[in-house]
Amino acid sequence: MAEFLSLHDAVARYVEDGATVAMEGFTHLIPVAAGHEVIRQGRRDLTLIRMTPDLVYDQMIGAGCAKKVIFSWGGNPGVGSLHRLRDAVEKGWPHKVEILEHSHAAMACAFEAGAAGLPLAVLRGYVGSELPSVNDQIKFIECPFTGERLAAVPSVRPDVSIVHAQKADRAGNVLVEGIVGVQKEAVLAARQSIVTVEEIVDDLTTQPDYHPNACIIPGWAVSAIAVAEKGSYPSYAHGYYPRDNRFYKEWDAIARDRERFKAWLEENVYHAGGQS
């Protein structure tokens, strides 16, 4: 049963140094506020899993939280590089970060397999790609029925997954709307999960826009719920606020320079937010 905690307390309880953490949200509903809380609490040696690291992991990597990053597309969408990720990989700043890279199809399947409780995901993937030569977690197996050669990757089973959603109700049920990405899979694949939400409503099922096929994660499948208004910004929450594409463009210049990045972090993370 989901417990209602402050963002500070949820992160303090469930995100430990050295943990394997998946913070999902495919461009939409990225749990940025939670990422900042992890930075503020000074977590270290995390294995960070995310299909598209985006600005949130760029910031966490630059702040020194990451030991390893598992991803499938590590850019600033439509803008260019994630400079903090690149600086860590190319120059080892603030320290060397290990990377393990997949394709989107493989990671999506691996999250789904994790939710399904399977040890591996099977897909028709990586044909002719050289990614298997640099990622020992990509193997090939033979279909026992047809003999077809198929790719296999281990399922994603994070210690804790963190996602952001539009709303939760008093019972802890969570509504995810719009681009739903792999959020549900991430929550179900993890040992523990934190969901940050824009708001709490009394009962999701009596809301005027409730629909029997809505993407709802039941409260009993979630560990903790924390309210984080505008918790995805500069990503967005469908129905609440738009993606700040201008900030995504501005981030390029901020992240390019170590000093400018540190100043940004100081002002916007260490000395901001953080409800306790």
Q: Contact positions toward another protein, by CB under 8 A?
A: 26-28, 51-52, 71-75, 77-79, 81-82, 85-86, 89-90, 101-106, 108-109, 111-112, 123-131, 134, 148, 178-182, 184-185, 236, 238, 242-246, 248-249
d(CA 191, CA 223): 9
Asked if omega into 119 is within 30° of 0 (cis), the reply is no
The answer to whether 248 and 54 have CB atoms below 8 angstroms apart is no
Closest CB 238 distance from another protein, rounded Å: 6
Instruction: Please report how close the Cβ of residue 13 comes to another protein at its closest, in angstroms.
Output: 28
43 vs 184, beta carbon nearer another protein: 184
φ and ψ at residue 103, rounded to 5 degrees: -95, 165
Nearer to another protein, 16 or 244 (CB): 244
Q: Please check whether residue 215 is in contact with residue 177, taking contact to mean a CB–CB distance below 8 angstroms.
A: yes
Residue 117 or 242: which CB sits closer to another protein? 242
Q: How far is the CB of 262 from another protein (least distance, A)?
A: 21
Q: Minimum distance from CB of 258 to another protein (Å)?
A: 16
Q: Which is nearer to another protein, 5 or 113 (CB)?
A: 113
Which residue lies nearer to another protein by CB, 105 or 201? Answer: 105
Q: In this structure, what token pair is assigned to residue 101?
A: 């890279």
Nearer to another protein, 130 or 209 (CB): 130
Beta carbon of residue 170, minimum distance to another protein (angstroms, whole number): 26
Q: Are 151 and 125 in contact (CB under 8 A)?
A: yes
Contact criterion met (CB below 8 Å) for 34 and 183: no
Q: Would you list the DSSP string of 109-173?
A: HHHHHHHTT-SEEEES--TT-SGGGT-TT-EEEE-TTT--EEEEEEPP--SEEEEEEEEEETT--
Distance in Å, CB of 162 to another protein, minimum: 17
DSSP calls for 177-234: -SS-TTHHHHHHHSSEEEEEEEEEES-GGGSTT--TTSEEE-GGG-SEEEE-TTTTTT
The structure tokens listed for 109 are 């399947």
Q: In this complex, which beta carbon is closest to another protein, that of residue 159 or of residue 244?
A: 244
State the minimum distance, in angstroms, from the CB of residue 46 to another protein: 20
Sequence letter at residue 211: H
